[in-house]
Amino acid sequence: PSNMVALILLFVVLTSQTVCPYKCQCFTPAQVLCADDRMAYVPSDTSKEVKDFIMMTSPLAYLFPHILADSPQLTKLVFLNNVLRSIHAQAFVNLTQLQELEISGNPMLDHLFPGTFSKQGNLTKLQLNFNKFPTVLPGMFDSLKKLETLEMKSNVISHLPAFLFLNLHNLRVLDLSQNKIEDVKRETFYGLANLEILKLNNNAIGNLTHVITQLDHEVFSALTKLKVLNLRGNLLTTFSDKVFGFEASNLKELNLKDNRLTELSSLGRLTSLSDLILSSNRLSNLPEDIFRNITLLENLDLSENHFTSLPETIFSKLFRITSLHLNKNNISKVDAKLFEDQNLIQQLYLSDNQLETLPLGLFETFAIQHTVRLHGNPWKCDCHMSYLHDWVLRNSQVIEMLHRVSCKTPAFLRSQTILSLDKDQLVCPVSRDETSDLNSCSIQASGDTMIIKCKVDRCSPLTVKVQFQGVEGSIEEHILKNESESSQCSNEKISPIK
């Protein structure tokens, strides 16, 4: 009897264990992974306990009607990196509890039949990435009223039907990046009142016949809760905040990197903006008041454009800026008050420009630990370098790639790092006066003192005039003459005049 009881118990234990589908792996009773390179079909012997089913890197080419019909309890279904060619319109008809569905990585899947997702009313996430869809049929997503995330990146979509997303009232994230979209219309985004993130990067938006390519006014006006807009890697030549309509926008992040922008006309309605990326464009000028109303801006990237200078007050009132990238432009001069309001700066990139010197006090407003890049400029290491030289010595720990911050001129200091210079090497030569026996003069700046050194041969007469010009225009002049007696001229050398 005891043996019989033991056998019965063993049978109960064995029959209660989950049976994993052939050629698949079951990490838990609720999770199945099928990744066999000989598995060309979807297994039918899936346990009733399974919630997540993943099939990847298999030769699976077709999804026939009623797949996984015995597993209506599935909440997550993934087909990743297979070779799907076609999906039957009734393939998922029994899977009414699905919350997440992914069909990605199928280079020969170029269409979906109407009604494919008609029974997936509980779906919150749908991923259709890295396939070959040239478009999506109208009504394809009409039944997905609970959908929060829709991804269709890296297909070959060139056209989006009007009202395609009309019923997706709960959609928060829409990713259409890495396609071939040339134009977007206002009607495309009707119904997306709760959308927060829109990714249209790496398309061909702006690839139109006329010279000036821009988005239509109010094209995003239906997206009243939009926080992130990525338009990187398109073909736009100009941009205006009018694309959001005529009310203040809730947008926080705008990425326009790697377009063909030559003009930025207005941003004043983007009063909530904290991140603005304008790098890798063709901008050479900006209106002085372009950032005036976006006082919440924290990160601003203007790198890799064609700027030679910037208006003195362009960053005025941007008190929250923590990151400012101006590198890889042609900037040759900056105003002493350019960063006057940027007390909280943490990153300031001025590298790879045409700067020869910096004005007195440029960095003195920075109140917290910061990182600065100055390399890649043709620094002129003369008397006008005194402020930058002193600042580099005091702040060497915050300068990235300090070993590349070096002199371009004068020739005798070329390639020498600024950090290695002595202050008395920072001199300004003065042209020789042909009427005197003057070999050379130099000017040296040291703090608030200017020192003039002149080397004189023999007993040449020399007059040095120093003029102080007041704000009102009055001039006060001081004169120092080198006048030695003839006896001294014949027997003694003249000391340099200071």
**Alpha-carbon torsion (472, 473, 476, 482), positive or negative:** positive
Domain ranges (residues) in the chain: 426-491
| Torsion (CA) 167, 169, 173, 175 in degrees, nearest 10 | 20
Which residues on neighbouring strands pair with residue 87, listed in sequence order? 63
Q: φ and ψ at 489, to 5 degrees?
A: -65, -35
Q: What's the rounded Cα separation, in Å, for the pair 203 and 180? A: 5
Q: Give the distance from CA 352 to its chain's centroid.
A: 18
Which is nearest to 297 in space by CA: 323, 314, 320, 280? 320
| pLDDT single digits (tens) 173-212 | 999 999 999 999 999 999 999 999 999 999 999 876 554 5
By the 8 A CB rule, do 162 and 186 touch? Answer: no
**Is the per-residue pLDDT at 324 higher than 60?**
yes
Residue 6 host element (H or E): helix 2-16
* DSSP label of 406: B
Q: What's the rounded Cα separation, in Å, for the pair 348 and 131? A: 41
Q: List the beta strands (DSSP E) in 223-310.
A: 228-230, 238-240, 253-255, 263-266, 275-277, 299-301
What average pLDDT does the chain have?
87
Listed range (124-128, 220-224, 245-249) with the worst mean pLDDT = 245-249
Per the listing, tokens 């630990």 go with 369
By the 8 A CB rule, do 270 and 254 touch? Answer: yes
Q: What's the rounded Cα separation, in Å, for the pair 132 and 151? A: 14
Between 55 and 214, name the one with better pLDDT.
55
**Is the per-residue pLDDT at 10 higher than 70?**
no
| pLDDT single digits (tens) 388-435 | 999 999 999 999 999 999 999 999 999 999 999 998 898 887 655 544
Q: List the beta strands (DSSP E) in 374-426.
A: 379-380, 399-400, 407-409
pTM: 0.83
Q: List the beta strands (DSSP E) in 141-283.
A: 149-151, 173-175, 197-199, 228-230, 238-240, 253-255, 263-266, 275-277
By the 8 A CB rule, do 296 and 274 touch? Answer: yes
For 260-275, what is the mean pLDDT?
94
